Structure 1
């Protein structure tokens, strides 16, 4: 069931981020994974563009959400600047995507960038944590 899984690829991966810590305390790491698309650097955080035709991959983790998933989404939607009633003004949009986890494809929610990215530098590795270490 897709609403039970969330794919994250950026600042939520770090436990020092209060929202990342909240997610980790209220869900279970299911697997590493990646989506087809491109990862960009906005300066303060990464932005993923999901594109099933892309040869590029965005790397991250899949979390299984518990019965309180609606509460988790409420907190994370606010952090990600997602407003379901005002998609045009949302910085990120929560959408379904196919996540590659080993030999399996899992349907997960993820937050994708909802602004122009043509001026943003791409992160060639598709791995935000590796990029930040570099």
Structure 2
């Protein structure tokens, strides 16, 4: 399983599960190949956007600053000079955790790339952080 963290600045609180579902359905090139739904978990009590294609799935959880897994200061420190970060990066206040289901046969590489591209195009200035490799994706 691979988890990426899309860090964004969303002062208007415009990124919601509803807008994410709508944008995925209308702007993701492979949207017709996926069933896109939301699922509310009991513990922790969160609602995720779930994209399913056959027996493979992608889970997206929008987290406000108070619930973010990552600290933008820590990400900046980790990346140091490795990546060019936006000038206002320290004011980023939302993360979209994107958990890709296991893919040992690498059958879904294209889908992973397309979802990454969707995030870049849909959220200008987004920083997609790979915590495992400690790099920008």
Normalised by the size of structure 1, how large is the TM-score?
Answer: 0.35
Computing the radius of gyration over CA atoms, which structure comes out larger, 1 or 2?
2
Answer 1 or 2: higher relative contact order, Cα 8 Å, separation at least 6.
2
> Normalization by structure 2: what TM-score?
0.35
- Name whichever structure is richer in strand by fraction: 1
The structure with the greater share of residues assigned to helix is 2
